[in-house]
């Protein structure tokens, strides 16, 4: 009986990136999992380039490389590599098992495929949750609209009550000499 390879799925998940709208793994991470050097993995891919169309594998641009380096602390050494890494989609990784035909590569590939499947299931589950959350948010926004209308009406009522409660002050008589012209106006009032 063969001993099954055990790679913690979290290790693989942490090596999956979203680049160009696709979930991919970098050549250096795959090489590490397969137990080969990155250049050997890339040579095997180049020898079988017809198996790796653009939707299976692509080379990162300088901008994408810098973004990946910025987001991932463990890829700082990639900054000094003059060659931009290759990114493999799920289909490209599946194709690697035919190119790297070793028992270790096959076991690693099985683990990676299981991880991709698990991620797909999680995303599907999250879509359901996301739809439910959006529905709740819409309901609350409707309620908030009603509440804000009530808040405005209550505010108007409070303003009216404040006006009723404030008693206008009577003008006070000035102390001192008052000319006759002002004195006559006050008597008429």
The whole-angstrom separation of Cα 89 and Cα 16 is: 9
pTM: 0.58
Q: Which residues pair with 57 in a beta bridge?
A: 88
pLDDT in tens, 96-115: 878 887 777 778 878 888 88
Question: E strands of the chain, at which residues?
Answer: 16-19, 22-26, 57-59, 86-88
Q: Which CATH class is domain 9-123?
A: alpha beta
Assign 26 a pLDDT band (cuts: 50, 70, 90).
Answer: very high
Q: Which of 30, 27, 80, 34 is nearest to 58 (CA)?
A: 27
Percentage above 90 pLDDT, the chain: 13
């Amino acid at each position: 009986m063969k001993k099954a390879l055990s790679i913690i799925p979290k290790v693989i998940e942490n090596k999956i990136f979203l680049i160009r709208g696709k979930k991919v793994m970098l050549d250096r991470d795959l090489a590490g999992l397969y137990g080969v050097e990155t250049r050997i993995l890339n040579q095997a891919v180049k020898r079988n380039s017809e198996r790796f169309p653009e939707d299976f594998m692509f080379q990162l641009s300088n901008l994408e490389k810098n973004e990946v380096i910025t987001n991932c602390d463990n890829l700082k050494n990639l900054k000094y590599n003059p060659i931009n890494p290759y990114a493999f989609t799920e289909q490209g990784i599946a194709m690697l098992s035919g190119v790297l035909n070793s028992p270790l590569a096959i076991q690693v590939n099985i683990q990676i495929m299981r991880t991709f499947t698990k991620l797909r299931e999680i995303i599907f589950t999250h879509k359901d949750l996301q739809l439910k959350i959006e529905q709740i948010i819409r309901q609350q926004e409707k309620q908030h609209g009603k509440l804000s209308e009530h808040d405005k009406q209550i505010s108007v009522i409070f303003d009216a009550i404040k006006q009723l409660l404030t008693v206008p002050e009577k003008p006070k008589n000035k102390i001192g000499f008052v000319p006759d012209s002002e004195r006559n106006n006050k008597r008429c009032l």
